[in-house]
Structure 1
Amino acid sequence: MTNGSVLEKEWIFHKIDEKQIQSLSLISELDYIFCKILNCKKIASENIKDYLSPKIKEMLPNPYIFKDMNQGIENIYKHIEQNNKICIYGDYDVDGASSTAILSKYLKSLNISHEIYIPDRIKDGYGPNKKVFEKLISNNNKLIITLDCGTLAFDPILFAKTNNIDTIIIDHHKSIEILPNANAVINPNRFDESGEYSYLCAAGLSFIFLVALNKFLREKKYFHINKTIEPNLLNYLDLVMIGTVCDVVPLVDLNRAFVKQGLKVFSERQNLGLKTLSDISEIDHKCTSKDIGFTIGPKINAAGRIGESSLAVNLLISDDPEYVYSVAKKLHELNLKRKNIEKIILEEAILEAEKQKNNSVLVLSNKEWHEGVTGIIASRIKDLYNKPTVVISVNGDLAKGSARSINGFDMGIAIIQMQQKKIIVKGGGHSMAGGFSLKTENIVIFKNEINNIYSK
């Protein structure tokens, strides 16, 4: 018997401590096989309780350990007090949609005037841009909060500032050693953070932001003065859970607590959109993280990939049963369409990858590929070849790419280096994934440079 897999990879077995496993099994009364798994994961006996039954109240940090949290809270409070209109500018993926829904539901519960803007993947591209900001400013927004984007949006943020518009960035993508000139940049992955909570996604960070804001408003007696009920933040944990699972961030520490408690809230079926989408997906059992990641999440993502980017967040915040059903049904149909598109492109991408299989990083491009599925294709190719993979959709003189990486190669840093060298127009990401746009004429340069970065 060999240790080879069907993908011709070699299984490497963890070294285990048989004595520790036997002792743990006796002390904890857990199954031997389960204790063996815990030992392989190097979960110490004193941490097993937190691992199996993580509690948010025990793991939630003081929100103010994050840089600029104080500035962000004071700034949004200023606009709330002045009855200014606030814009929530979210990304078009599940993490962006769930983050946007969390903040919107909170503001709505307090009757705070706000609007939502989710950029169109094809027309607007990733993150803030000046043209959209012009529109938002003309709509009389005085504060723009970017969620799951904005860390590298220097020009749009500066444009807002020159027009006397405040901005708060709540993001988790890697920064360079210079930050946009926003009123607050709240990001566990900014260059000057400790990195202790680098595993958080935007939905988790948005929840922490609301924990701070809720406490701040309570201390200001805002709820009493305005005769309004203080929102119960725990009701938003289903949205936090979905963003955490679908952004594929590490399920460790606080993230485990978010997912475990979020699944409980999800099972209560309080969110009409999630309830309806679950029913359409024919989930007739207690929902698991697998259901979220492989059934619910792809449908929510379908809106930003090949449909109307705002559909996902509208599903998550609406209380209109008829409207919610129509959106859920449309998302289901869009996801089926996405699967068909993906199947065709994947076959073509594999043929192209075969030609590059000796390269360290696979860079695949085609003018016929739909940019809405490049991330999925990159993930599939990465899994097949166990190599960092970049898939680029070409549209005339401009191309857009999605990247997925493997352990040991930080894709977010690679994209930042590309931007600093002006090989790409703009982009961003984290260690395992990223997105960018570049001039079509620079694709070959990009391909050579990212392989050079890998070799270093």
Structure 2
Amino acid sequence: MRWTLKPKPSEETVQHLAKALNVEDFVATLLVQRGIETFEDARRFFRPSLEDLHDPYLMKDMEKAVARIEKAIENEENILVFGDYDVDGTTAVSLVSSYLKTYYPNVATYIPDRYDEGYGISFKGIDFADDNGFSLIIALDCGIKSIDHVGYAKAKNIDFIICDHHRPGDFLPEAIAVLDPKRDDCTYPYDELCGCGIGFKLIQALGQNRNETIDDLIPYLDLVSAAIAADIVPMTGENRVLAYFGLQVINSDPRPGIKAIIHQIKKQTLDITDVVFIIAPRINAAGRIKHGNHAVELLTEFDFEQAQQFASEIEAYNSERKDLDKLITKEALKQIEENNEKERFTSVVFQEDWHKGVIGIVASRLIETYYRPTLVFTKSGDKYAASARSVKGFDVYNALEACTEHLEQFGGHMYAAGMTLKEENYQIFKDAFEKEVEKTIHPDMLTPEIAVDAEIDFADITPKLIRILKQFEPYGPQNMTPIFLTRNIKDTGHGKPLGQEDEHLKLFVKQSRSLGTEGLAAIGFNLGNKIELTTHQKPFQAVYCIDENEWKGKLSLQLRLRDIKQ
């Protein structure tokens, strides 16, 4: 691990903010690092308000989208709500379809089959719309590059409204409306919304047209916060407001489908981390193992008993997903070792029987062992399909774009992408991708980095600090959990390894006698091999987050160690 202290912001800005908020300088430093420099910035950060959401009509083509939907309703047309099979897509479809159905019955949903149709808008989906009399398709979390598909639909007199958040290509599809803040000609003030977030802006605009207020739309925010958490978009601006209020809905009055998931895990209060690691994987498991339709059924079901039945089926898919994930990761690691590819700049692996639904998760797992841009391929029909994952700071989308001559299609983000290629191009692409990454990646990016927010002493960890840090939530990209560095720490002698293979580390640490003999509890996941650094009262330094541990209904302070060094 590479420890780097974040650059210190302007001392004048920090002191001005510290004085305005009556907080310590290092707390003000944490805020300035997050772009919060004034009292007004801090008010918006610590007191998120739905009034801070932007007018949806500031988004390019929003008026056209609303007008076309209203026309469809007036003419009693059939509307098909189409979305991708991941969490962002299925929550977006559930949100827009359930909203429209509150006042218009002729609405149906369509999720493409991951294995038969692949990612995004499909010709099969358009044929389904044509066969069943749909004249308007609202596409969510996909479609920004579907020029041919939209043209195919147009020839069948089917209109498209596209709601996407991915980067557009050189040309836009000829849809009635293309809602995407990443369009060059869109001046919407915030361009980091997820697909479900764009769907929410659409229903916000429709609601304004019907004299509804933002308060009328709060019940839909459980879906939006799940999508924001799962899609790993920046936890800033509108995303932070939507996630904040969405978490309140999840913890107070979630829709029956989400309530059924929570009911199974029996956890009282969920934070954004729980949404990422508990709710999102279960919603995702439907599309990975069976079909994304199962997720939409769960999320749009209003009978709790029926929702519980759907949730138990999805729980079974999630268990199967976990087993496949472990097995394929093991096989992929073995392949890298046997092919002597440990020293490469990339990990690119293929096996034709790997389950397409989990290759993205496997790519992330491989990065935990070999920290470098990673692609996991499997056979999909007569093509090879892959999921790509990247390391911090490296844009895998750009690297794929440089190798586009060998690909059939690709799409995605800086850190995650998907692609297909012809079998005969696999080795050519693998070599080209390796060369491109070797040429463009900075050597430092191949070592995991822990970016430290501030160096503090244990004496700085006060009840006031913990109260303030609680208000930094929800955490996410660009507002990550603060990481602190403390030097000259000693274990009190009660430290021990934990886990079946002693892979974790439990310590009780102190910096001085002021904390008594007990010390602060600290847990280091996958740091069990570093216990020797802490024995016999040897001093060491640690980087950590300040956490609360819940055990038998009681909350206690705990340091979550990220790494330790002598």
Q: TM-score, normalised by structure 1?
A: 0.89
User: How much does 1:20 deviate?
Assistant: 6.2
Q: Note closer, same or farther for the CA distance 1:135–1:40 as it changes in structure 2 (3 Å cut).
A: closer
Which whole-Å CA distance do the structure 2 matches of 1:231 and 1:119 have between them?
A: 32
Residue of structure 2 in register with 1:4 after alignment: none
Residue of structure 2 in register with 1:115 after alignment: 108
Residue of structure 2 in register with 1:412 after alignment: 397
Q: Which of 144, 147, 150 pairs up with 1:154?
A: 147
Residue of structure 1 in register with 2:324 after alignment: 341
Provide Cα deviations, 1:114-156, integer angstroms capped at 9, x if missing partner: 1101111111111112122112211111101111111122222
- What is the aligned residue count? 435
Which whole-Å CA distance do the structure 1 matches of 2:275 and 2:303 have between them?
A: 23
Contact 1:168 1:183 (8 Å CA) reproduced: yes
Amino acid at match of 1:367: E
Which whole-Å CA distance do the structure 1 matches of 2:380 and 2:425 have between them?
A: 13
Q: Note closer, same or farther for the CA distance 1:156–1:391 as it changes in structure 2 (3 Å cut).
A: same
Q: Which of 6, 11, 21 pairs up with 2:3?
A: 11
Where 1:185 maps in the other structure, the secondary structure is strand
Q: Note closer, same or farther for the CA distance 1:69–1:418 as it changes in structure 2 (3 Å cut).
A: farther
1:331 paired to 2:314: yes
Amino acid at match of 1:424: L
Contact 2:112 2:122 (8 Å CA) reproduced: no
Which whole-Å CA distance do the structure 2 matches of 1:15 and 1:191 have between them?
A: 32
Q: Which residues of 2 match residues 90-169 of structure 1 at below 5 A?
A: 90-169=83-162
Q: Note closer, same or farther for the CA distance 1:394–1:236 as it changes in structure 2 (3 Å cut).
A: same
Q: Which has the higher helix share?
A: 1
Q: Which residues of 2 match residues 371-450 of structure 1 at below 5 A?
A: 371-395=356-380, 397-416=382-401, 418-419=403-404, 421=405, 423-450=406-433
1:264 paired to 2:248: yes
Contact 1:415 1:429 (8 Å CA) reproduced: no
Provide Cα deviations, 1:381-408, integer angstroms capped at 9, x if missing partner: 2344332211111246311111112344
Contact 2:87 2:226 (8 Å CA) reproduced: yes
Which whole-Å CA distance do the structure 1 matches of 2:46 and 2:148 have between them?
A: 45
Q: Which residues of 2 match residues 22-421 of structure 1 at below 5 A?
A: 24-25=17-18, 27-30=20-23, 34-46=27-39, 47-58=41-52, 60-193=53-186, 197-218=190-211, 232-284=216-268, 286-354=269-337, 355-395=340-380, 397-416=382-401, 418-419=403-404, 421=405
Amino acid at match of 1:92: Y
Where 2:377 maps in the other structure, the secondary structure is strand
Contact 2:141 2:195 (8 Å CA) reproduced: yes
RMSD: 2.4
Contact 2:91 2:299 (8 Å CA) reproduced: yes
Q: Note closer, same or farther for the CA distance 1:192–1:451 as it changes in structure 2 (3 Å cut).
A: farther
User: How much does 1:24 deviate?
Assistant: 4.5
Where 1:134 maps in the other structure, the secondary structure is helix
User: How much does 1:379 deviate?
Assistant: 1.7
Which whole-Å CA distance do the structure 2 matches of 1:341 and 1:130 have between them?
A: 30
Q: TM-score, normalised by structure 2?
A: 0.72
Amino acid at match of 1:117: Y
Q: Which has the higher strand share?
A: 2
Which whole-Å CA distance do the structure 1 matches of 2:87 and 2:420 have between them?
A: 21
Contact 1:176 1:190 (8 Å CA) reproduced: no
Contact 1:89 1:147 (8 Å CA) reproduced: yes
- Which shows bigger deviation, 378-387 or 440-449? 378-387
Contact 1:412 1:429 (8 Å CA) reproduced: yes
Amino acid at match of 1:49: R
